[in-house]
Structure 1
Amino acid sequence: MASPFQRESVHIFDARGVARRFRHSAIFGALGSLQPGEVMRFVNDHDPLPLIDQLQQRYGDALTVNYVQRDEHAVVIDFGVAG
């Protein structure tokens, strides 16, 4: 199934390369800089459920969360924020 997003509008954020103490603030900053129609493809080594809760509290219904991959090898999520 084709993604509803064009490749140019998907920005990779690999959290595995960011120090743990900086991850949440970096993710909030990245999401805050997205333009309408853009997506942050988040890559991590575990399912970030507490982070998703924080994002939902901040962005409410404007936040979209779409799991692309969710297994023992990696978790990949497309995050978007409606303008």
Structure 2
Amino acid sequence: MSHDCSSPNADGGVYYFDARGVARRFRHAAIFGALSALTAGETMRFYNDHDPLPLLQQLAQHFGPRLELVYVARDPGEIILDFKVVS
């Protein structure tokens, strides 16, 4: 599955975040910051090279039910998740 990171906003309030281009030591902070900037109804489509299970636990603790998570793709080397702010 390919995507175009040159377009920051897709139809319907979906914003793209490709973690593969962010230095590992900055990733979690960048992800938390990006998700905190979203408003209700907006979605961040997240691209990563591995399944970020520890990060998902941290996000669940921090955002609780305000953030919904849906896997778009869960293939080795290509993980795509949609994080949607619901309230």
Instruction: Answer yes or no: same fold by TM over 0.5.
Output: yes
In structure 1, what is the equivalent of residue 47 of structure 2? 43
Q: How many aligned residue pairs are there?
A: 78
Cα deviation for residue 72 of structure 1 reads 1.2
* Counterparts of 2:13 and 2:50, CA distance in 1: 24
Judge conservation of contact 1:43–1:75 (CA < 8 Å) in 2.
Answer: yes
**With structure 2 as the length reference, what TM-score do the two structures score?**
0.84
In structure 1, what is the equivalent of residue 13 of structure 2? 9
Give yes or no for the alignment of 1:55 onto 2:59: yes
2:37 to 24, 33, 45: 33
Judge conservation of contact 1:69–1:75 (CA < 8 Å) in 2.
Answer: yes
| Fraction of identical pairs, as percent | 58
User: 2:51 is paired with a residue of what secondary structure?
Assistant: coil
Aligned-partner residue type, residue 66 of structure 1? V
Aligned alpha-carbon RMSD (Å)? 1.2
User: 1:47 is paired with a residue of what secondary structure?
Assistant: coil
Judge conservation of contact 2:48–2:77 (CA < 8 Å) in 1.
Answer: no
Cα deviation for residue 33 of structure 1 reads 0.3
Judge conservation of contact 1:12–1:40 (CA < 8 Å) in 2.
Answer: yes
**With structure 1 as the length reference, what TM-score do the two structures score?**
0.88
2:80 to 62, 76, 79: 76
* Counterparts of 1:72 and 1:59, CA distance in 2: 27
Structure 2 gaps of 5+ residues are: 1-9
Higher helix share: 1
